[in-house]
């Protein structure tokens, strides 16, 4: 005579009830395949310790916007940054060397109609309330070319 546990165990194949896990395992990579998660840096004076890095993150393939993390590094003294939300995927952030006249030498990041002051002495990023009259000298643009996100100097 078999007990109830043995009868149930023998009537079900080893992976019964796990089909949804297999289906999820096969479809999850497809759902994430369209997501963006990349970064590129502008090296100040060619040094990786002194840089402005933009990291793009799109969490779901159906989103038409992404988050843009701006990381400012002047190692070992400081590192800081900010996150810019709701950036269109097709955005091409432009980087400028601001003209003199600011409390510290800054860079200006133009993302669509938004402008951000990037201070590499203090490693801070701050949004301008209004666009500056003079952005300064354009250094280049962060954009995707041939499927790779990067900084492209002017």
The pLDDT mean for the chain works out to 84
Q: Is residue 56 part of a domain?
A: yes
Rounded Cα distance between 151 and 154, Å, is 10
Domain extent for 117: 36-153
pLDDT at 91: 93
Q: Is residue 69 part of a domain?
A: yes
Residues 6+ apart with CB under 8 A from 123: 72, 73, 74, 77, 78, 79, 80, 81
- pLDDT at residue 14, as a whole number: 46
Flag whether 149 is in a domain.
yes
Per the model's pLDDT, the better-predicted residue between 130 and 32 turns out to be 130
- Inside any domain, residue 100: yes
Q: What average pLDDT does range 85-96 have in this prediction? A: 94
Q: Looking at the 3D structure of the chain, how many domains does it have?
A: 1
**pTM for the full model?**
0.77
Has residue 153 got a pLDDT over 90? Answer: yes
> How would residue 8 be classed by pLDDT, with cut points 50, 70 and 90?
very low
């Amino acid at each position: 005579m078999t007990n109830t546990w043995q009868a149930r165990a023998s009537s079900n194949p080893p992976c019964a009830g796990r089909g949804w896990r297999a289906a999820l395992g096969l479809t999850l990579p497809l759902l994430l395949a369209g997501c963006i998660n990349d970064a590129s840096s502008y090296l100040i004076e060619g040094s990786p310790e002194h840089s402005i890095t933009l990291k793009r993150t799109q969490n779901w393939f159906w989103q038409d916007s992404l988050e843009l993390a701006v990381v400012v590094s002047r190692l070992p003294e400081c590192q800081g940054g900010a996150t810019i939300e709701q950036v269109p995927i097709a955005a091409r952030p432009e980087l400028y060397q601001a003209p003199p006249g600011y409390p510290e030498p800054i860079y200006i990041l133009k993302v669509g109609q938004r402008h951000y002051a990037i201070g590499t002495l203090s490693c801070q990023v701050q949004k301008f309330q209004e666009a500056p009259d003079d952005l300064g000298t354009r250094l280049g643009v962060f954009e995707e070319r041939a499927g790779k996100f990067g900084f492209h100097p002017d």
